[in-house]
Amino acid sequence: MVIADIAALSTVHVSRVLHALQAARLITLNRGAAAVPQPAPLIAFAGFDPGYLHLPDHAARAKPEPSAGIRRDPVPWAGSNRDLGYASRT
């Protein structure tokens, strides 16, 4: 998996995260390609701050409003496998 190689993460981890984002309807997966049909909900979910990229002022002001339909739980990959719906194997 190219994303896993680029990010130096395991393919299992990347696969679980991508499927969790797909289940949350934030991305679509089709034939090995991930697409973001509506960037604003994914941006709101991730808490992305355009200032992080030192973008021009007009881009920084375009920060989207959080969507009421987005759950602001901790990101699934920051916790344990249980956050992704996988049972512990201990």
Counting Cβ atoms within 10 Å, is residue 21 exposed (0-12), middle (13-18) or buried (19+)? buried
- Alpha-carbon distance of 90 to 85, in angstroms, equals 15
Q: Which residues of 43-78 are buried (b: 16+ CB within 10 A; e: fewer)?
A: bbbeeeebeeeeeeeeeeeeeeeeeeebeeeeebee
Look at residue 19 in the predicted model and tell me its pLDDT: 93
Could you report the per-residue pLDDT of 7-59, keeping only the tens digit for each? 999 999 999 999 999 999 999 999 888 899 999 999 989 888 877 877 666 55
pLDDT at residue 50 in the model: 78
Please choose, from the candidates 20, 50, 18, the residue with its C-alpha nearest in 3D space to the C-alpha of residue 35: 18
What pLDDT band is residue 73 in, cutting at 50, 70 and 90?
Answer: low
The whole-chain average pLDDT of the chain stands at: 75
The model's pLDDT over 47-66, given as tens digits with 9 standing for 90+, comes to 888 778 776 665 545 555 55
